[in-house]
Amino acid sequence: MKVEIKKIHLMSLLFSVFPLAVFVVMVCVGAVVEMFDPEVASTFTFGYAVRCVMNAVMDTVLFLVSTVFFVGAYNFLNRLGIRGVQIDLEDK
């Protein structure tokens, strides 16, 4: 069975669990990156936690803005008549 993604609704993308999932991934990645910072004296301080959360918020906003841009471009190209992404699903 072939499934084609024709249009992605921006509101359903932004008001779903997607931003929360991106934020959690960005917090985890930020914590791992900060562990290798030579200025951190391998102690967990309030400043370290605030820096990790603020970096995660900034990265999440940048990722969501770029996602909105690419989804808008995808929807525009679909409106022009270019076919959407097709996925081939198999029943077992």
Report yes or no on whether pTM surpasses 0.85: no
The confidence score (pLDDT) of residue 43 equals 67
41 pLDDT more than 60: no
Task: Pick 26 or 31 by higher pLDDT.
Answer: 26
Query: 6: number of CA atoms within 13 Å, CB side?
Result: 5
At 20, which amino acid appears? L
Q: Is residue 24 helix, strand or coil? A: helix
With cut-offs at 50, 70 and 90, classify the pLDDT of residue 5: confident
13-42: buried (b, 16+ CB within 10 Å) or exposed (e) per residue? Answer: eeeeeebeebbeebbeebbeeeeeeeeeee
- Nearest Cα to 72, choosing from 24, 6, 10? 10
**What is the average per-residue pLDDT within 53-73?**
94
CA distances from 46 to 2, 51, 52, 64 (A): 51, 9, 10, 27
With cut-offs at 50, 70 and 90, classify the pLDDT of residue 67: very high
**What is the average per-residue pLDDT within 43-66?**
87
Q: Is residue 15 helix, strand or coil? A: coil
